[in-house]
């Protein structure tokens, strides 16, 4: 089953006098259960590709079909709802909210989805347990190790049972041993049926994926 399809997607920024073509007519298909690594040097357009695939941004031209629905012309609020229910993001810098506990960080997407408090907490606990963070539920982000923080972020990405998990350099801020643990989590999640897209510039990390897409100068090569 096709989850995401990019159809001749271009993204152009009007920075200064010359338009900057960040993506040039990119075509991409992601099937359910895929484990894809998107590779490319910095400035290649891989982040922009991920943003468009993750409904954080809309293309200048071309179509983005997410689960048979054209999302390239949707409003910001509509895109926010798709991100909330269908996409799980994992970032290089974890992006946990510092003043709130691990449990509260993990259940945040459910708050925006309007799930009631009791259900939210139960699901957040289950997801934390799945990632071995049961003991850390009431810790604050600054009391967690880098690996624990990233696992919290993965729990947050998983809690709404998304159709696709998008991870942008998820091991970039971690030592190699912890990085490997995180990659192992993604492999396990993929084995359990989740669709995972990993953006990285590290060959060793990319090798773990079942398919590698290389992007260079805004084009898939």
Which one of 10, 12, 60, 81 is in contact with other proteins (CB under 8 A)?
A: 81
Q: What does the alpha-carbon distance between residue 159 and residue 4 come to, in Å, rounded to a whole number? A: 20
Q: Which stretch binds other proteins (CB under 8 A): 65-73, 87-95, 122-130, 187-195?
A: 87-95
Neighbours of 76 (CB within 10 A): 7
- Beta carbon nearer to other proteins, 85 or 180: 85
Cα 43–44–48 angle (5° rounding)?
Answer: 85
CB nearer to other proteins: pick between 48 and 208: 48
Based on the shown chain and the rule CB under 8 A, indicate whether residue 20 belongs to the binding site for other proteins: no
Which residues, numbered 98-157, are part of the site for other proteins (CB under 8 A)? 99-100, 108-109, 111-117, 156
Quote the distance between the C-alpha of residue 121 and its chain's center: 23
Q: CB-based contacts of 212: which residues, under 8 Å, 6+ apart?
A: 36, 37, 38, 39, 206
**Is the Cβ of residue 29 or residue 138 nearer to other proteins in the bound state?**
138
1 near other proteins (CB under 8 A): no
Site size toward other proteins, by CB under 8 A:
28
Which of 97, 143, 175, 176 is in the footprint of other proteins by CB under 8 A? 97
Give the C-alpha distances (Å, rounded to integers) separating 114 from 41, 81, 216.
39, 11, 40
Residue 122 CA to residue 107 CA, distance in Å, equals 9
**What residues numbered 23-52 form the site for other proteins, per CB under 8 A?**
51
Nearer to other proteins, 194 or 208 (CB): 194
85 touching other proteins, by CB under 8 A: yes
Q: Which of 83, 95, 88, 75 is nearest to 127 (CA)?
A: 88
Ranges assigned E (strand) in 122-207:
164-168, 196-200
Q: CA 22 to CA 155: how far, in whole Å?
A: 31
Q: Is 91 in the site for other proteins (CB under 8 A)?
A: yes
Contact flag: residue 57 with other proteins (CB under 8 A): yes
User: Smallest distance, Å, CB 160 to other proteins?
Assistant: 8
Provide the binding-site residues for other proteins, judged by CB under 8 A. 51, 54, 56-57, 76-77, 80-81, 83-85, 89, 91, 95, 97, 99-100, 108-109, 111-117, 156, 160
């Amino acid at each position: 089953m096709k989850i995401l399809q990019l159809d001749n997607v271009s993204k152009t920024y009007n920075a200064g006098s010359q338009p900057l073509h960040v993506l040039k007519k990119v075509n991409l298909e992601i099937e359910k259960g895929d484990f894809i690594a998107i590779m490319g040097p910095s400035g290649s357009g891989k982040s922009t590709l991920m943003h468009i695939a993750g409904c954080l941004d809309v293309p200048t031209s071309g179509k983005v079909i997410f689960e048979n629905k054209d999302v390239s012309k949707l409003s910001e609020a509509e895109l926010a709802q798709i991100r909330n229910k269908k996409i799980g993001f994992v970032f290089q810098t974890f992006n946990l909210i510092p003043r709130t506990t691990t449990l509260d960080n993990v259940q945040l997407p459910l708050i925006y989805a309007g799930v009631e408090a009791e259900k939210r907490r139960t699901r957040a606990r289950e997801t934390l347990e799945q990632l071995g963070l049961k003991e850390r539920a009431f810790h604050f982000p600054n009391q967690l190790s880098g690996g624990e923080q990233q696992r919290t972020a993965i729990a947050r990405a998983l809690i709404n049972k998304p159709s696709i998990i998008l991870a942008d350099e998820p091991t970039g801020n971690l030592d190699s041993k912890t990085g490997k643990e995180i990659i192992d989590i993604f492999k396990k999640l993929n084995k359990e049926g989740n669709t995972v897209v990993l953006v990285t510039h590290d060959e060793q990390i990319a090798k773990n994926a079942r398919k590698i897409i290389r992007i260079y100068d805004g084009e898939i090569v």
